[in-house]
């Protein structure tokens, strides 16, 4: 039976008791806070039959304007799974900035730590989509202005989950994660986009998430999606900087593989028909953060994040606020009615 989105509004913690585990405090559901320090962009998405060659112009099919940015996407995904979510960034005082602020507020995301600047324009991403794949050019704009003072402002407590990526300055990410150790917060770093950075930052990270392309860049290895799983495991091991750290490599339709102190965690892929892969990795990271904030063990958190990402790729664009059409996994993926309901709730996290 086709699944349908049960709500276009953020799912409150009380409505996802069967999706995430109870905490050690017993039956009373408690969700810790997720803080995302990351980019907010307006995505301009164009679809075409093929990518243009250098100097060539090709006709497009459609164009979409969609709220995006890795920070915003990850925050929306976490909020959709019921995690109290705060976004830390900078917006321009322009039309895109106003539109993005309105959208994120409608998702129940706390924007008290988003400041506004007239120094430059709001971040923008120009995305070309061809046959469900994408090529992206990001113009940072105000995202490049986020600094240590911005990430020092929120009052953090034990159990909070801190999430970041590299669409804001790496020095700001370092300052943000430096706050985690003394308070017992969990840090999640998405190594995207792949850049050269001071590897000492990895010592501050509890969970590292990256795809095979980013892993190849970080480890200076030639890696391909079709490579044996052992290749990714060997490469990921070089990024582990301390005991207890988890390194997760997302592999698209093949699922994901992760390393932690207990060994290798293999997350199988799911057979779905992708429409647009834009934002799938961000959906994964946001869903992972929400699961960790709910107290889920790392294996279950990664599995649920992978489900959310597999649902995310079945619709166009990175915007995560409404269901435009029924999306579903193949019927053989459902093991029970309870799992169907669980996946439906994850669907709303991905949309």
State the catalytic residues: 282
Q: What is the dihedral of CA 189, 345, 8, 61, to 10 degrees?
A: 70
Report d(CA 128, CA 277) in Å as an integer: 11
85 CB-near residues (< 8 Å, 6+ apart): 33, 34, 35, 36, 75, 78, 79, 108, 109, 110
Q: What is the dihedral of CA 255, 88, 158, 238, to 10 degrees?
A: 40
- Which letter does DSSP use for residue 178 in this model? T
* DSSP-assigned letters across all residues of 47-68: EESSPPPTT----EEEEEEEEE
Contact 279, 73 (CB under 8 A): yes
Contact 299, 218 (CB under 8 A): no
Q: Tokens for 136?
A: 């992206």
Report d(CA 139, CA 125) in Å as an integer: 6
Report d(CA 198, CA 102) in Å as an integer: 35
Contact 287, 311 (CB under 8 A): no
Contact 282, 36 (CB under 8 A): no
| 3 state SS for 225-290 | CCCCHHHHHHHHHCCCCCCCCEEEEECHHHEEEEEECCEEEEEECCCCCCCCCCCHHHHHHHHHHH
**Sign (positive/negative) of CA torsion 42, 47, 53, 59?**
negative
**HSE-up of 200 (CA within 13 Å, CB side)?**
5
């Amino acid at each position: 039976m086709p699944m349908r989105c049960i709500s276009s509004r953020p799912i409150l913690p009380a409505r996802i008791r069967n999706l995430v585990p109870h905490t050690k405090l017993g039956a009373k559901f408690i969700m810790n806070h997720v803080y995302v320090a990351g980019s907010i962009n307006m995505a301009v998405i164009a679809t075409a039959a093929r990518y243009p060659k250098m100097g060539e112009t090709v006709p497009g099919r459609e164009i979409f304007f969609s709220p995006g940015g890795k920070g915003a996407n990850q925050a929306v995904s976490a909020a959709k799974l019921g995690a109290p979510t705060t976004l830390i960034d900078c917006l321009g005082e322009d039309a895109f900035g106003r539109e993005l602020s309105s959208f994120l507020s409608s998702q129940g995301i706390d924007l008290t730590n988003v400041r506004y600047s007239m120094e430059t324009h709001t971040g923008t991403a120009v995305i070309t989509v061809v046959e469900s794949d994408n090529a992206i050019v990001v113009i940072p704009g105000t995202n490049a202005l986020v600094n240590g003072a911005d990430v020092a402002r929120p009052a953090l407590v034990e159990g909070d989950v801190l999430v970041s990526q590299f669409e804001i300055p790496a020095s700001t990410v370092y300052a943000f994660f430096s706050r985690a150790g003394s308070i017992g917060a969990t840090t999640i770093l998405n190594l995207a986009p792949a850049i050269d950075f001071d590897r000492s930052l990895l010592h501050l990270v509890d969970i590292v998430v990256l795809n095979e392309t980013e892993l190849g860049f970080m480890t200076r290895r030639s890696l391909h999606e079709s490579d044996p799983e052992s290749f990714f495991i060997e490469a990921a091991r070089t990024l582990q900087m301390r005991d207890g750290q988890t390194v997760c490599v997302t592999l698209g339709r093949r699922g994901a593989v992760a390393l932690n102190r207990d060994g290798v965690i293999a997350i199988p892929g799911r057979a779905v028909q992708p429409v647009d892969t834009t934002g799938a990795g961000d959906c994964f990271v946001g869903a992972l953060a929400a699961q960790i904030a709910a107290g889920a063990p790392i294996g279950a958190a990664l599995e649920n994040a992978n489900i959310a990402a597999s649902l995310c790729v079945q619709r166009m664009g990175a915007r995560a606020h409404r269901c435009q059409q029924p999306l579903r996994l193949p019927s053989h993926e459902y093991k029970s009615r309870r799992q169907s309901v669980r996946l439906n709730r994850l669907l709303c996290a991905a949309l």
